Amino acid sequence: MTYTTKGPVRGSCGHNHRTIATACKCMQRDQSGCRSQGGYSDREVVRADGEELTEDEFLAMEHHWYDEWRF
């Protein structure tokens, strides 16, 4: 399974990430770049095969954000 980031305005990052964590990091880089230019990114993490994220995949993203932002 691979993941990418995609938004209706920004489009896809064009990468096939092997983990949700790397897709989240890609999304963070895009958000940071957009923010530095006074805008925002509409990209989100999605499965590269177009299927909906499973509950386990959502939990993996939550785990990533928890590890990323805890003090």
Q: Where are the beta strands (DSSP E) in 1-71?
A: 3-7, 11-12, 44-47
Q: What is the pLDDT of residue 13?
A: 97
| d(C-alpha 37, C-alpha 34), whole Å | 5
Task: Determine what percent of the chain falls in helix, strand and coil, rounding each to the nearest 5.
Answer: 45, 15, 40
Q: 3-state DSSP call for residue 53?
A: coil
* Residues 4 and 23: beta-carbon distance below 8 Å: yes
pLDDT tens for the chain, residues 1 to 71:
999 999 999 999 999 999 999 999 999 999 999 999 999 999 999 999 999 999 999 999 999 888 877 75
pTM value is: 0.87
